[in-house]
Chains A and B, each alone.
Chain A
Amino acid sequence: MPGSVCVWYGEVTMNHFELEIPQLRSALVQFGAIMLFSTVLVGSSYLYRNTHLDARDQANRQLHGLIDGYRSAVTSERIIRTRFADFQTLRAHGFVDGEPRLQWIENIRDLARRAQFPKIRYQLEERQQYNPDEALNMGSYQLYASPMQLSFDLYHAGDLLTFLQALDARSGGLYDLPYCNLQRLDKERGVSLTEPNIRGRCDLVWFTLHSLTKSDEDYAG
């Protein structure tokens, strides 16, 4: 049969289906044209949508970047205005970008003399990296700790408190005091006004902040 085509087999007594392709030509052409047109239409509309979507996203990113920058600038201005004086004080005391070991030792010697310590020995150890318990914003700094051990004789326990209060008042740096031990020297003897009555030992830790971007040579210089 010219112009006919076998499509598929049916059930039971049905053999197959035949189609008059010439009669379908216009419908097929129409379907193809609409398919092509639809593809172009949807594709171009999709492109149009995505172009504007990208433009919007880019503009939003730019806007949010500026908003974040504005907030950051406001925060920076507030920090500099309210904190920079404290920062400069810390730097002047050698806490930031310094290691005033000589000043610490001079302070210890001077204050021990003023507190009338009959004897004092100090030992300042090598500086080490120190990581506090809490997660702190360290900026571009690393915290260091320099342990110091003090051994001394006292006439009276109150002299130690006087010494520590004076050390605080001098603002010679930031330190921690984790341990102290006081022993009566001669237990059978009464309190002497001319001889030391107490022997003591305290552990101190001096803290300093150092910029990660600077080398030790920079500080030495």
Chain B
Amino acid sequence: MATRQVLFITNSGITAYLQHGHRLERLDFFEPGTSGLGRFEAFLEDQAPLLTYILADLVEEEFRIDVVPHAMGRDRAAILKRHMRRLFRGTTLTHAEVIGRVSGQRHKDEILFSALTNGELPDMWLPVMLKHQVPIAGIYSLPLLTADLLRKMKHRIEDALVLTEGQDGGLRQSFFHKGQLKFSRLSPMPQLTDAEYAEYVHEEIGKTKRYLSNLRLLKPDVLLEVHLLSGGTQLDALLEMKARKGLDHYDMIDLNSFARRFGYRGTIERHFADELMAYHVAAKHPSNHYALPQHRRFYFTQVTRTGLQAASIVLAAGAALWAGINGADGILHSKEAGAALSATQDARARFDQANSLIPNADASPDDVEAAVHIAQYLMTQREQPDGMLGNIGQTLQNHNSLSIDSLEWFVSRDPNARKPATAGDNQQVMDAMEDDGANDGITEQFQIALITGRIEFFDGNYRVAHQRISEFAAELVTRSGIQDVEIISLPLNIDPKSSVAGGLGQDAKTADARFSVRVVRRGNHESL
């Protein structure tokens, strides 16, 4: 379904094309004057409002290159507008393109100004279109769009001349320097034979070159690359002339094969480029050149309306989807709630039954559990000295020469403890029981005994005395539960850091052979 049309306007009239995908259909041609205008009006009246591109290939199109101060945004627009008003006084259909910075002048822009000075378009054709509310996307300059053709050509040197011929227009010659349009000229094309045609084109190219030299756009002795878009017998004649005259810098391009590069799938019957250019403008949808906002207001309205309709569809679809998801969630939650309620009834019955099975008690289960557990805990923490005293007593039976004078027994979580931290003070007993090892996470307990004793019937032989104490300690450590036995002091202090005194004979008094031992036993646990 066609949604776009191109109105190709020349000095001979308007040709209407309809776009069908990658093809164009030539609908009609409307000549200037009352008859053509009437038919054009009838044509517009009959059709639904189609997105319309107006492509102009008119003799009355002027190009000027000028330099303006560099600016951006609204300032640039104001400068260009003022400049265009001064350059082209009789028309409002103007256009400006920044084509680069002026070399050596950072704050100067080089601008290509152009304008359609033909009065027929704004005075005759546009009012009819606006009357029929044609959505005009833009008014486009064929020479300006020719730059797009050049980009697809084998472009070798900086200066290039592109030639196209219009069916109702004439021979269009556009000059480019470094890909930027500098000059364009439309000359009428008389009825000629193929041989005359080639010679005529060659002559016209010569005229244009001379004109470009006069304008100093083309430097003397600089090669100009010429690209001719043509087809049919005319192309053959041009190729024959190229070969005959040795015009190596002439690039003859077949229109149909060239149009394929733009995606055009129709067939161009003759050597005119109208169809290609019309298709290009409709397919590419370039930025507008000449149309004023009032010319495009039906286009903007259509775009806005389409946007609103699309937004409405998206909104409705989104809302429907969202509501659908919510609805599905709601149904799912409803089913889950039903299942949970059903399970609740079953759970309530089991709960009631379990409650009825709890025996009557005058204490809460939690308190019962806590009290029993605490009692178990306290009993497992309690130590009794019977194991330690039994170990010591059994060992002493094998060492009759040793006598115990005192025994201090205490419980500690530190196996290296050398004295009870608690003895004699009840508050200290409590504090030590609460703090002992709690901060270190130590749970194992040790029984520690500090034994002091002496050698019975000591005869002054320290070596034997020491040996007996060592033997006692060595046997004690082998007893069940004993972890360590440490001899703290011996009858004779043989530590190199201390002094020793004594004697032999009747005057010498035999000293007591006292010793002390520290015994560590792993804690024993009891249960309730």
Contacts and interface: CB of A to CB of B under 8 A. Distances in A.
A118 to B, nearest CB: 18
A201 to B, nearest CB: 8
B434 interface: yes
A34 B313 CA distance: 8
Contacts of B361: 80, 84
A13 B347 contact: no
A138 B370 contact: yes
Given A73-B354, A137-B366, A20 B374 contact: no
Contacts of B379: 174
Contacts, number: 316
A133 interface: yes
A76 interface: yes
B433 A80 contact: no
A21 B298 CA distance: 10
Interface string B73-95: 01011001100100000000011
B94 A13 contact: yes
A164 to B, nearest CB: 6
A60 B321 CA distance: 28
Size class of the contact patch on chain B: 35 or more
Nearest to A182: B407
Point out which of A133, A138, A158, A183 has the most chain B C-beta atoms below 10 A from its C-beta.
Answer: A133
A105 interface: no
Interface in A7-57: 7, 9, 11-20, 23-24, 27-28, 30-31, 34-35, 37-39, 41-42, 44-46, 48-49, 51-53, 55-56
Given A41-B323, A79-B365, A209-B371, A30 B308 contact: yes
A67 B389 contact: no
Contact of A42 (B319, B371, B422, B430): B319
B169 to A, nearest CB: 25
B375 interface: yes
Interface of B: 74, 76-77, 80-81, 84, 94-98, 133, 288, 292-294, 296-298, 300-301, 304-305, 308-309, 311-312, 315-316, 318-320, 322-324, 326-327, 329-331, 333-334, 336-337, 340-341, 343-344, 347-348, 350-351, 354-355, 357-359, 361, 363-375, 377-379, 381-386, 389, 393, 404-411, 420, 422-423, 426-427, 429-430, 432-434, 436-438, 443, 454, 528
A179 B301 contact: no
A12 B350 contact: no
A95 B94 CA distance: 108
3 smallest CB-CB distances across A and B, nearest first, come from A139-B370, A38-B319, A59-B340
B251 to A, nearest CB: 33
Nearest to A87: B368
B365 A75 contact: yes
A96 interface: yes
A17 B443 CA distance: 86
Given A1-B294, A13-B95, A75-B365, A38 B316 contact: yes
24 contacts: A1-B297, A7-B300, A9-B74, A11-B77, A19-B304, A27-B308, A30-B312, A31-B312, A35-B315, A41-B320, A52-B329, A56-B333, A66-B347, A70-B347, A83-B372, A87-B371, A87-B372, A130-B434, A134-B377, A136-B377, A137-B366, A178-B433, A182-B409, A187-B454
Point out which of B327, B343, B411, B433 has the most chain A C-beta atoms below 10 A from its C-beta.
Answer: B433
B425 to A, nearest CB: 9
Point out which of B133, B301, B404, B436 has the most chain A C-beta atoms below 10 A from its C-beta.
Answer: B301
A125 interface: yes
Interface in A132-170: 132-134, 136-141, 143, 145, 147, 149, 157-158, 160-161, 164-165, 168
Contact of B377 (A51, A132, A161): A132
B371 A96 contact: yes
B378 A207 contact: yes
A55 B338 CA distance: 9
A55 B334 contact: yes
B381 A176 contact: yes
Interface of A: 1, 4, 7, 9, 11-20, 23-24, 27-28, 30-31, 34-35, 37-39, 41-42, 44-46, 48-49, 51-53, 55-56, 58-60, 62-63, 66-67, 69-70, 73-77, 79-81, 83-84, 86-87, 90-91, 95-96, 125, 128, 130-134, 136-141, 143, 145, 147, 149, 157-158, 160-161, 164-165, 168, 174-184, 187, 203, 205, 207, 209, 211
Contact of A18 (B294, B323, B427): B294
Nearest to A93: B375
A23 B300 CA distance: 11
Contacts of B426: 125, 147, 149, 203
A89 to B, nearest CB: 9
A24 to B, nearest CB: 6
